[in-house]
A and B are shown apart, each in its own frame.
Chain A
């Protein structure tokens, strides 16, 4: 299977190669930082004009992961939209697509720094969300326990036999789990960045996404 099972806060979780987190016991799929409508926002802000096919791509991958896991709940961990106006710029076709994905399952939008308010789509809008021992929120908080967050778009780099390999990565220690960004065209922050080194404990691990997710000690 294209995922890696690991244990976090007493729960057995799966890091998927796509960058999604799957919690089999709860039937819960969590994705972070979709940044839907990024191209549309760039254009609106006077940046380069790009066709908004990136949203379509992100949603296709999400649909595939939902189909594969048959998730009962989907948690979008914030920054699902590049900003609140992005939603209006979303193709009607894509809105229908989201609605189709939502059918028959629980859907939770966590607020992010890019999309702080409620959005005009189905599903619940929450600042944070607790299930069992885990709390889901967008940005990691100091001294949090059993917290699943996103926001930083972490990636990790390792060198082997003269080659350098960089992948978006999950970061985890005994208290915290940070998800990689799921959206197409989202950049990343190396695990060696000061903010991530400060946030994560010394024994933190990184799980590199890709064809087969791989775990390594978090590069610092």
Chain B
């Protein structure tokens, strides 16, 4: 087709709209095997993606499924369905547009498989699930086009890897399939394009006009930000003032717990009774939907939210975005700001609110980076093999397969283009037998080879289990929270199981902005009652803790090198000057370490600026080295910029601690018994199908699952350390929670330029670390020494003779 049908151009004219150049270009490229569109929010991105589909369906009838739209959010799929229905009706297309997500009813889902709509809006998990059915080839017959929305977000996670494997599958059912990616502004569009295309197809990038630069500033407040913490409660009056001045304000937080606390404080101070809502991933679906609906109607003046509102749902007239807490990552900041002012070509308006003194520096650095269009991003490595193992099981659930054909197919997915046959065979063997150490156990023997060479499920009934465990999103183990009533009260949301376990009846906590009283646990549900007038114990939902990006850390260090800081508020500039005066400011090509006594212990503060995860790992490795060299460490705490270690003895010579080779060796040994590894193992083992997420009907409690995965981990470590899942766990941990790469980069950068300053007390920059939460104790000789001291003291006190 060379021209957009008149029915559609007429509709545009009737609306008083014109077709944007990037929409036209997407139409012209409709037959290309793959195209990536980069456009700001509000740039008619969705229409650009669907224009060729609507044109096709307007020009001729199509039997069955024509276009599949995949988005990372269920809500986004539903939103697009509504936004597409209007134009389709007005253009006069009698087509079926349906969504299919985890929220779709079973009847609807069944019907969709028998009689699919023209346009199906879904999520990566639901799509992967569809490919696991025997009738998948029939259902997908004739699909022309697949649109992947918010592909920049998917490309950063295993969900994206799984999606690309599902698309490889889809493409073998429909060889003529065109792939279209829709993305927000990213630092490396070509990488996203390669990710989307069938390897090695080309994928041209279409750039829409990015629009004017955002109007972005730091919020000015009367109160000074506190020394530590993430709540930013000090900013409440100033934030309320901003809400007053704007139509609709989105208030972003980095974690759910912070969002809850902030919402609570905001509500207490809300004397004008502005309608304000809260939205985050731990809230019950109905609650979230209510807030979303109120937002679409324009009933809310402000919404306190987390990443759950990050992606491009059209929430109407948002004219201000406030980011509470340092954004940690410039790219995400820019994308969040894009949520304000959905009218094309009008600047978005945003305010940053640092939660503590250090974040003032970080916010200013982020502002400067955003102005300079200096986005951050780390290239992602090869596709993880746990996702691959799941894909093999999904393939087996659909039909018996030939190993050669499956290998061929999945290496056309970009993340797996470089997978070797040996690696694939190891994954296949794991799926078939469970791997060497587990081959004696029936339950992990899942595939068998038929005489004709094809692989099939050993027990066809296991297909059901594979489907139930499908997906790569790791929920922390959560329990539902309900109001206690005669028969099942109102659902409020979810809290982590570990948090629920810490509650005793009568305790109060915050959820969905309400204070509730814990009554008891029944059938895996936390029962609560309303309690209006008590100070809450805080709900500790695990919000994702992002590490500050390398680019942003570098900017902060460059800022430290300035002779003075006119761009910073006076209180923060004074603080940095005081640090320079009493100690030194960290520099980019050197490593500053301070050593000082405090409160009867010795302290060591290492300013690595390597991000929270790497600083955490550094803490573990350094304390291990200290243990080996007899320095008796007791514990440590890490932030994005420093690690503070305390112990019984002072460190006088840091150089033996910082030898890369020794650290690396320490890493291998340490990794083995570490909780981070166990957590990583648990995630990968669940994805790869070793541990089950759901056991038919009965939910395994999180603690039980932790217990069994920890034991499996210990077992494999001892008896089969080279087991596929152990390899995967090490890879994952190195690039994820362990982030050893950034430690290596830091050590390479600083070489032997290590400055150890001995101070007589804590320095200005180190002081906030004492208030940080998340302290990690070290079990070692210091503990033995303390135990000895304490046992002698106690026995003496009790008048006992220690024999």
Chain A residues with a Cβ under 8 A of chain B: 4-7, 39, 42, 47-51, 53-54, 158, 160-165, 185, 203, 205, 208, 210-212, 214-217
Nearest chain B CB to A56 CB, angstrom units: 9
- Within residues 703 to 743 of chain B, which ones have a CB less than 8 A from any CB in chain A? 704-705, 707-708, 711-712, 714-715, 718-719
Interface residues of B in 423-456 (CB under 8 A from A): 437-438, 441, 443
**Cβ of B777 < 8 Å from any Cβ of A?**
yes
| Chain A to chain B contacts (Cβ below 8 Å), 12 pairs | A6-B803, A39-B711, A50-B712, A53-B718, A54-B711, A158-B790, A158-B791, A158-B794, A161-B634, A210-B787, A214-B787, A214-B791
The answer to whether B783 has its CB under 8 Å from any CB of chain A is yes
- Pick the contact of A163: B704, B705, B783 (CB < 8 A): B783
State whether the Cβ of B786 lies closer than 8 Å to any Cβ in chain A: yes
Binding site for A on B (CB under 8 A): 437-438, 441, 443, 599-601, 634-635, 700, 704-705, 707-708, 711-712, 714-715, 718-719, 777, 782-784, 786-791, 794-795, 797-798, 800, 802-803
**Contact, CB under 8 Å: B798 / A217:** yes
Cα of A39 to Cα of B708 in the assembled complex, Å? 9
Extra pairs beyond A42-B708, A160-B789 (12, CB < 8 Å): A7-B803, A49-B708, A50-B711, A160-B787, A208-B791, A210-B787, A211-B784, A214-B787, A216-B794, A217-B794, A217-B795, A217-B798
A48 to B704, CA, bound (A): 7
The answer to whether A48 and B800 have CB atoms under 8 Å apart is no
Whether B787 lies near A158 (C-beta < 8 A) is yes
- Chain A residue at minimum C-beta to C-beta distance from B708: A48
Query: Roughly how many angstroms separate A52 CA and B599 CA in the complex, as a whole number?
Result: 47
Q: Is the CB of A216 within 8 A of B790?
A: yes
Across the interface, which residues of B come within 8 angstroms of A205, CB to CB? 800
CB <8 Å contact, A49 and B715 = no
**Residues on A with beta carbons closer than 8 Å to the beta carbon of B634:** 161-163
Q: Contact check, A212 vs B794: say whether CB atoms are below 8 A apart.
A: no
Cα–Cα distance between A161 and B634 once the two chains are bound (Å): 10
Do B704 and A164 touch (CB < 8 A)?
A: no
Q: Please, how many angstroms separate the alpha-carbon atoms of A49 and B685 in the complex?
A: 13
Bound together, the chains give a CA A53 to CA B634 distance in angstroms of 32
**CB-CB < 8 A to B800: which residues of A?**
205, 215, 217
Chain A residues contacting B601 (CB-CB under 8 Å) are 161-162
A51 and B783 contact, CB distance less than 8 A? no
How distant is the Cα of A160 from the Cα of B711 in the complex, in angstroms?
A: 31
Quick one: closest B residue to A187, CB to CB?
A: B707
How far in angstroms is the closest Cβ of chain B from A151? 22
Closest chain A residue, CB of each to CB of B802: A215
Instruction: Tell me the bound Cα distance from A50 to B708 in angstroms.
Output: 6
Chain B residues near A6: list those with CB within 8 A. 803
Contact A165 B707 (CB under 8 A): no
Whether A48 touches B777, Cβ cut-off 8 Å, given contacts A53-B715, A165-B787, A217-B798, is no
Contacts of A53 in B (CB 8 A): 714-715, 718-719
What are the residues of chain A within 8 A of B712 when measuring CB–CB?
A: 50-51
Q: How far, in angstroms, from A165 to B786 measured CA to CA in the complex?
A: 9
Q: Find A161's partner among B600, B711, B784, B794 (CB 8 Å cutoff).
A: B600
Decide if A163 touches B777 in the complex (CB within 8 Å).
yes
Q: Is the CB of B635 within 8 A of A163?
A: yes
Contacts A158-B790, A164-B777, A216-B791; A48 near B441 (Cβ below 8 A): no
Is there an interface contact between B700 and A215, defined as CB atoms closer than 8 Å? no
Question: Chain B residues near A49 (CB, 8 Å)?
Answer: 441, 443, 708
Of A48, A164, A216, which is within 8 A of B705 by CB? A48
The verdict on A48 contacting B700 (CB below 8 Å), with A53-B715, A53-B719, A160-B787 known, is yes
* Contact indicator B791/A215 (Cβ below 8 Å): yes
Please classify the interface of chain B as helix (H, G, I), strand (E, B), loop, or mixed, using the class held by over half of its residues: helix
Across the A-B interface, give the 6 residue pairs with the lowest CB-CB distance, nearest first: A48-B708, A160-B790, A214-B791, A160-B786, A217-B798, A53-B715
B704 to chain A: which residues have CB within 8 Å?
A: 47-48
Which residue of B443, B600, B718, B803 has the most chain A CB atoms within 10 A of its CB atom? B803
Expressed in whole angstroms, the minimum distance between the Cβ of B397 and any Cβ of chain A is: 21
User: What's the nearest-Cβ distance from chain B to residue A169, in Å?
Assistant: 11
Chain B residues near A48 (CB, 8 Å)? Answer: 700, 704-705, 707-708, 711
Report the minimal beta-carbon distance from B672 to chain A, rounded to whole angstroms.
Answer: 15
Q: Least Cβ distance of A213 to chain B in Å? A: 10
Residues of A within 8 A of B777 (CB): 163-164
Chain B residue with Cβ nearest A5 = B803
- The complex places the Cα of A50 from the Cα of B786 at a distance, in Å, of 36
Indicate if the CB atoms of B787 and A208 lie closer than 8 Å.
yes
Give the residues in chain A near B795, CB-CB below 8 Å: 215-217
Q: Determine the distance from Cα of A205 to Cα of B718 in the docked complex, in whole angstroms.
A: 36
Contacts of A54 in B (CB 8 A): 711
Point out the residues of chain A lying under 8 angstroms from B784, CB to CB: 210-212
Chain A residues near B714: list those with CB within 8 A: 53
CA–CA, A162 and B637, complex, Å: 14
Residue of B with least CB distance to A205: B800
The answer to whether B803 and A214 touch across the interface, beta carbons within 8 angstroms, is no
Counting chain B CB atoms within 10 Å of each CB, which of A4, A7, A160 scores highest? A160
Chain A residue contacts of B791, Cβ below 8 A: 158, 208, 214-216
A161 proximity list for chain B (CB < 8 A):
600-601, 634, 786
Question: A211 to B780, alpha carbons, bound, how many Å?
Answer: 10
Contact status A212-B715, CB under 8 Å: no
Residue of B nearest to A217 (CB): B798
Q: Residue on A with the closest CB to B788?
A: A214
Complexed CA–CA distance, A158 and B635 (Å): 16
- Contact B787–A51 (Cβ < 8 Å): no
Instruction: Give chain B residues whose Cβ lies under 8 Å from the Cβ of A5.
Output: 803
Distance, CA A78 to CA B488, complexed state (A): 44
**What residue of chain A has the Cβ atom nearest to residue B601's Cβ?**
A161
Nearest CB of B to A188, in Å: 15
Which residue from chain A places its CB closest to the CB of B775 in the assembled complex?
Answer: A162
Q: Which residues of A contact B711 (CB under 8 A)?
A: 39, 48, 50-51, 54, 185
- Chain B residue numbers with a CB within 8 Å of A216 are 790-791, 794-795
Cβ-defined partner of B783 (8 Å) among A50, A165, A185: A165
A51 with B708: CB separation less than 8 A:
no
Residues of chain A within 8 A (CB-CB) of B600 are 161
A20–B195 Cα distance when bound, in Å, is 59
Complex Cα–Cα for A208 and B787 (A): 9
Chain A residues with Cβ under 8 A from B700's Cβ? 48
Cβ distance A52 to chain B, nearest Cβ, rounded Å: 9
A114 and B453 alpha carbons, distance in the complex (Å):
49
Given A7-B803, A212-B784, A51 and B441 touching (CB < 8 A)? Answer: yes
Chain B residues, CB < 8 A from A214 = 787-788, 791
Best-buried of A4, A42, A161, A212 by chain B (most CB within 10 Å): A161
User: How far, in Å, is B700 (CB) from chain A's closest CB?
Assistant: 7
* Closest partner residue, chain B, to A57 (CB atom): B718
CB distance A215 to B438 under 8 Å? Answer: no
Query: Hey, which chain A residues are within 8 Å of B786, CB to CB?
Result: 160-161, 163, 165
Q: How far is the CB of A51 from chain B (nearest CB, A)?
A: 5
Are B718 and A51 in contact (CB-based, < 8 A)? no
Q: Give chain B nearest CB distance to A65 CB in angstroms.
A: 20
Residues on A with beta carbons closer than 8 Å to the beta carbon of B438: 51
CA distance A4 to B802 in the complex (A): 9
Residue of B nearest to A51 (CB): B715
In the assembled complex, the CB of B633 is this many whole angstroms from the nearest CB of chain A, namely: 11
Distance from B800 Cβ to chain A, minimum over Cβ atoms (Å): 7
Closest to B646 in A: A162
Which chain B positions have C-beta within 8 A of A160?
A: 786-787, 789-790
Give Cα A216–Cα B437 distance, bound, in whole angstroms.
Answer: 42
What residues on B are CB-neighbors of A203 within 8 Å?
A: 798
Q: Which residues of A contact B802 (CB under 8 A)?
A: 215
- A158: nearest chain-B partner, CB-CB: B790
Most buried by B among A49, A54, A185: A49
- Residues in B with CB closer than 8 Å to A185 are 711
